[in-house]
Amino acid sequence: MSSRRGSRSSGAVLGGALALVLALLAGGAQAATVQRLSLGQLAALSERVFIGTVAAQQSRLSEAPRQVLTDTTFTVEQVLKGPKESGPFVLTRLGGEVGEGASLMRQAISGYPRFEVGERVVLFLERTPGGALVITGLAQGKFTVRDDAKTGRPMAVRDVSDLAFVGQVVPTRTFLGVPSDPNRLPLDQIVTVARGGRPLASPMLHQAPATPQVSLPAGGAR
């Protein structure tokens, strides 16, 4: 479930990818098993993609069924795909922690990304058959934006360590200057693909390997 005001029924949260994760948890699985998605597939499957900052986060208990829900509020900086609405965006997900001491209730969803207040992110959201907006591909659809320590260039990184992948590995076309790690990409590359384009060549240039110097033995070659 997700909306700008978070006003829909909490039951809509259980759908699509989250339902799969719950089924896996019930079977004792330690990681969520999902199909590996390329950046292009993430963009194609997503109804909304935006860059934003986590402004607030609050967990609560729903009434029926009784479960923990977490509302994460984003200040939207740039819409890359979908309706260009003004104001904050609220994403409601299953899981979180409420209460304390003996009344503490905690619910964790394997494979679902975590958020921190102040974190700048790129978020890919898809619509479930039940009408809810959820993160596309679970942790695959959330990138954290950080400046590279050496170059200062904005990079988008993601943590998919809680996911297990099935199916064939999606072949990836590489371009000059584009990193080969799909979990660490220049922010401008993600922006281009999310808007329906293809990755552009990075201004970073590959240097040709130096020609090895051959030392001849004294007296010349034999």
61 secondary structure, DSSP code: E
In the predicted structure, residue 217 carries a pLDDT above the cut 60: no
pLDDT tens figures, 151-171 = 999 999 999 999 999 865 555
Distance CA 51, CA 172 (A): 24
Query: Which carries the bigger pLDDT value, residue 193 or residue 180?
Result: 193
How many other C-beta atoms can be found within 10 angstroms of the C-beta atom of residue 117? 11
pLDDT tens figures, 103-155 = 888 888 889 999 999 999 999 999 999 999 999 999 999 999 999 999 999 99
The string of DSSP letters for 29-50 reads -SSEEEE---HHHHHHH-SEEE
The strand pairing partners of 61, in sequence order, are 68
pTM, two decimals, is 0.74
pLDDT tens figures, 201-215 = 544 433 344 444 444
Four-residue CA torsion sign, 61, 98, 159, 24: negative
How many other C-beta atoms can be found within 10 angstroms of the C-beta atom of residue 82? 14
Q: Write the burial class of residue 200 (CB in 10 Å: 0-12 exposed, 13-18 middle, 19+ buried).
A: middle
141 secondary structure, DSSP code: G
Distance CA 61, CA 95 (A): 10
